[in-house]
Amino acid sequence: MKGLGLAIGAYSALLWRSVAGVGITGVVWAAGSPRRPSAAVLRLHLLRGVVVAGMASLWFWAITVVPLAEAIAVSFVAPLAAIFLAAVFLGERVSPRAVAGAVAALAGVGVILAARLGAPHGPDAVPGFAAVLGSALLYAANLVLQRHQAQQAAPQEIAFFQTLTVLACLGVFAPWAARWPGPAQWPLVLGAALFASTSLVLLSWAYARAQAQALVATEYTGFVWLSLLGWLFFDEALGAATLLGAALIVAGCFYAARTPAAEPQEAML
């Protein structure tokens, strides 16, 4: 998506990914003998789709002007916020283990930011970081909605209606803002749509079976993957501070996600 955003703009990259994604998720949903969602569940699909449309638009523009590792580091305010939003809106108890794991992971983010934010940036860096923060706040709300939604609908249904809603939101601006991908971009569009559709189904399945505060901690591992991808494909430096921060992040994830034997685990749905 970063490559597409640099080539045709973040809006067009997300628009065409959504077009392809509707086709992919629509086939998967139809193959599973779908049932028509109730009015309440449909409203939940639409609400989350609108949130995701705003979140994704801000995020994919931001990563065209901010290095991937820095963007994901700043965005880690989202999982921490989601833990407490889950407590408020879903009634989940915030365990000391979840808080400690989140704090350890945020310490890792602090190590990375201390080393990286002093480096020179382009003219759009400040708006880029603001967009990351805005996306992170929407993402926190998205995580809580995702947990609630996953308890009401099948993963295939969630993936289809979310992708369709995002496409509807973006399509409003298509006559003025859309750019047609070139032949070299279409494989990237299809690949991005396939990855996004698969992740939607897997995350929806996971959030139906575990508490949000345990699952959001694993979001911190995204730093590891994006740092490596940024280094491999965009020559974005990966230094010692990045590796140290990543180690703290992963350690915090494992600690927060681990359930002590003495604690009763949530029933599988």
- pLDDT tens, residue by residue, 94-128: 777 777 877 887 787 777 767 666 665 666 777 88
CB 43 within 8 A of CB 105: no
Cut 0.85: pTM above it: no
CB 249 within 8 A of CB 220: yes
Average pLDDT of the segment spanning 47-59:
94
Distance between CA atoms of residues 131 and 71, nearest Å: 9
Backbone angles phi, psi at 150, to 5 degrees: -65, -20
pLDDT at 199 over 70: yes
Task: Kindly state the DSSP code that residue 181 receives in the 8-state scheme.
Answer: P
13-40 pLDDT, tens digit each? 999 999 999 999 999 998 877 788 888 8
Mean pLDDT of the chain: 81
Contacts 24+ apart (CB under 8 A), 83-91: 83/212, 83/213, 83/216, 85/140, 85/141, 85/143, 85/144, 86/143, 86/144, 86/147, 86/211, 86/212, 86/213, 86/216, 87/213, 89/144, 89/148, 90/144, 90/147, 90/148, 90/212
Which is higher by pLDDT, 181 or 248?
Answer: 181
Average pLDDT of the segment spanning 56-63:
94
